[in-house]
Amino acid sequence: MAMAMRIRNAASRRAMSPISGDFSLRSMSSWWKNVEPAPKDPILGVTEAFLADPSPDKVNVGVGAYRDDNGKPVVLECVREAERRIAGSSFMEYLPMGGSVKMVEETLKLAYGDNSEFIKDKRIAAVQSLSGTGACRLFADFHKRFRPDSQIYIPVPTWSNHHNIWRDAQVTQKTYHYYHPETKGLNFSGLMDDVKNAPEGSFFLLHACAHNPTGVDPTEEQWREISQLFKAKNHFAFFDMAYQGFASGDPAKDAKSIRIFLEDGHHIGISQSYAKNMGLYGQRVGCLSVLCEDEKQAVTVKSQLQQLARPMYSNPPLHGAQIVSTILGDPELKSLWLKEVKIMADRIIGMRTTLRESLEKLGSPLSWEHVTKQIGMFCYSGLTPEQVDRLTSEYHIYMTRNGRISMAGVTTGNVGYLANAIHEVTKSS
């Protein structure tokens, strides 16, 4: 059980029996002396360790932040231009609790389709959120408040913060089969069994595309079957879409799973993030949407989402939303953005091919087919925690201990070094 959970339980026990004693200022000790140091975040802790490493050979394939072929972070040209236009703006006032209306409108078009009937009919309750994390957390809080009887099913494995989010929202969590270690692909029958056996009306967290950390996505055919089974079981589908455009290079293609569910009549929820596909990581821009029965219900649901946002941060930050609106609201800038997204996606696809070929050329006894079959920012390499530790201690290569490689950190400059190191720690497998 997570440290924080134990501490939460301990604190509530302690609150029931107040401490008594001498409270003179001089002898008073800290209120916090029983606070234990928290474990480092498994993902963000990797970058911290990388930064602290003095080795000139070090490679960071840990956190999912895009790098160009020189290993440098990228600010998209469309973003720089948008910022030039925004600078000097006379507006720095509070956004509404639901965020920038313009930004939300444009964002819904990306997920639901430019000509979506749901947008026309105003059936979508949507609010600007603090990137994907914030959207998931708002939805989890909403889920807890209005459907406390039900639970959320989370795939195994998933982004580690998903568990933290639903736990802190106090929503009961269950898991469903997803990744198949033997094939390094999808455990489709396991997934379908879990969907079938879950109580009717359960909530499921689905990665819309480019599953994090595995890079393993269902095929279109499989998505259709999942959707049909969801219908039969009356399940609620919540999509976390953090990589639209980043997976295949084509945003419409990357939203296919969502479009299938919409065609089949599901009332879904979606978390969207601009962290990766617009490179707006630190701006914390995203959107939470919930498709409702009608406009009236959408207004209602939105009002309740706002009630949850108000005591968390009052209203969302302005700057990132202005960047998104400026880009998506201008056809030229939007088209530049689409080009730049495709360049990022293509570079990653290219690196996948190069990494796989390099390992094969080195004569690796293992199959590295999965490197090119998986999609998106991450490759679930199949490396064990011990092998990962060796990569770090012997080769100064940093990744999360589940063997997840951020392909965005791979460059023509380091792919050879990376392939060699992986080969060295796996060749006796």
Partner 1 sequence: MDSVFSKVVRAPEDPILGVTVAYNNDPSPAKINLGVGAYRTEEGKPLVLDVVRRAEQQLVNDPSRIKEYIPIVGIADFNKLSAKLILGADSPAIKENRVTTTQCLSGTGSLRVGAEFLKLHYHQSVIFIPKPTWGNHPKIFNLAGLSVEYYRYYDPATRGLDFQGLLEDLGAAPSGAIVLLHACAHNPTGVDPTPEQWEQIRQLMRSKSLLPFFDSAYQGFASGSLDTDAQSVRTFVADGGECLIAQSYAKNMGLYGERVGALSIVCKSADVASKVESQVKLVVRPMYSSPPIHGASIVATILKSSDMYNDWTIELKGMADRIISMRKQLFEALKTKGTPGDWSHIIKQIGMFTFTGLNKEQVAFMTKEFHVYMTSDGRISMAGLSSKTVPHLVEAIHAAVTQVV
With respect to partner 1, which residue has the nearer C-beta, 90 or 393?
90
Range 39-68, binding partner 1 (CB under 8 A) = 41, 44, 63, 65
Q: Is 30 in the site for partner 1 (CB under 8 A)?
A: yes
Q: Judged by CB under 8 A, how many residues of this single chain contact partner 1?
A: 96
Which of residues 150 and 392 has its CB atom nearest to partner 1 in the complex?
A: 150
**Using CB under 8 A, which residues numbered 72 to 91 contact partner 1?**
73-75, 79, 83-84, 87-91
Q: Which of 276, 302, 337, 368 is catalytic?
A: 276
Task: Between 25 and 52, name the residue whose CB sits nearer to partner 1.
Answer: 25
- 361 forms part of the interface with partner 1 (CB under 8 A): no
**CB neighbourhood size of 305 (10 A):** 24
Residue 175: what are its φ and ψ, rounded to 5°?
-120, 160
For 175, counting Cβ atoms within 10 Å of its Cβ (0-12 exposed, 13-18 middle, 19+ buried), the class is middle
Rounded least distance, CB 212 to partner 1, Å? 13
Q: Which long-range contacts (CB under 8 A, 24 or more apart) does 328-332 make?
A: 328/103, 328/106, 328/107, 328/109, 328/110, 329/102, 329/106
Give me 106's structure tokens.
């444009």
Catalytic residue list contains 276: yes
Look up tokens 């998506």; give the residue. 328
Instruction: Please confirm, yes or no, whether 184 is among the known catalytic residues.
Output: no
Of 263 and 386, CB closest to partner 1: 263
Contact (Cβ atoms closer than 8 angstroms) between residue 250 and residue 268: no
Among 1, 27, 31, 393, binds partner 1 (CB under 8 A): 31
Cβ proximity to partner 1, 38 vs 252, nearer residue = 38
Is residue 23 a contact point for partner 1 (CB under 8 A)?
yes
4 contacts 38 by C-beta, under 8 angstroms: yes
Which residue in this structure is represented by tokens 């009937």? Answer: 117
The verdict on 388 binding partner 1 (CB under 8 A) reads no
Please name the amino acid found at residue 118.
F
Q: Binding of partner 1 at residue 363 (CB under 8 A)?
A: no
Q: Mapping DSSP to helix (H, G, I), strand (E, B) and coil, where does residue 72 land?
A: coil
Which of the residues 141, 194, 217, 240 is marked catalytic? 240
Active centre residues (catalytic): 159, 240, 276
